[in-house]
Amino acid sequence: MSAATPMIAIRQLWKQYRVGQQPLNALADINLSIAAGDYLSITGPSGSGKSTLLNMIGLLDRPDRGSYRLNGRATEQLPEEARAALRRKQIGFIFQAFHLIPRLSAYENIALPLLLAGCSAAEQRRRVEQALAQVGLAAQLDQRPDQLSGGQMQRVAIARATVMQPALLLADEPTGNLDQRAGAEVLELLEGLNRNGMTLLVVTHDAALAGRSRRQLQLVDGRIVGDRAQ
């Protein structure tokens, strides 16, 4: 990928759903370029298309028309196996609801992507211990989610999302279920990852959180109505 090629290049992208008999444009004519290493927040009212856009960028959904290139590679027509491989290698996901497996320990939750990627047991241990240390939970590796606080659960989720060392981290309301202190700690972790070179996209309703990003994208009714550096 040349220096001039954006990490994310979206052109004339549309996504439509049906509500009863009526079509609904979840995304309408989206044009967006994001450079590697950027820190972008995506804001807008409920139903504006924020999570849909994040799902498109994360290859969890396909557009009805338009193009999306990730690191110069066209993704729209890729078979699902190839899309899954791209997600596994290049993209990390963090959600408001954590999505940890309750019966697994912190260590086992974080190891899942490595297990799916076929890493050896020794490599899994090395990477998981490194990821846990990075989020400040080295002493909690054997604890299950129900033994952790909300902030600790989100830290485990961050460790799981980054254990494969993705270039792109997508966070959908990552502090939405946390109190102010835990939310601030989680946000500082995410911003630290960005300072170390990871591209960070955050969907949020929180104006203060959005104000910390270097670039803010605003959606209304599936359309980009604001895109400004800050």
Would you say residue 16 lies in a domain?
no
The reply to whether 22 falls in a domain is no
Angle at 94 between CA 222 and CA 132, to 5 degrees: 165
pLDDT tens figures, 153-162: 999 999 999 9
The answer as to whether 189 is a domain residue is yes
* Percent of the chain clearing pLDDT 70 (strictly above): 98
Indicate whether 223 belongs to any domain: yes
Q: Which domain holds residue 195?
A: 37-59+79-229
Q: Where are the alpha helices (H) located in 58-206, listed in sequence order? A: 80-90, 106-116, 121-134, 150-162, 180-195
Is the residue at 30 inside a domain? no
pTM over 0.85: yes
106-116: pLDDT as tens digits: 999 999 999 88
Phi, psi of 82 (to 5 degrees): -70, -35
Asked if residue 67 belongs to a domain, the reply is no
Contact indicator for 100, 137 with CB cutoff of 8 Å = no
- The answer as to whether 163 is a domain residue is yes
Residue 25 within a domain? no
pLDDT tens, residue by residue, 53-110: 999 999 999 999 999 999 999 998 899 999 999 998 899 999 888 899 999 999 999 9
CATH number of the domain bearing residue 176? 3.40.50.300
Tell me how many domains the chain contains: 1
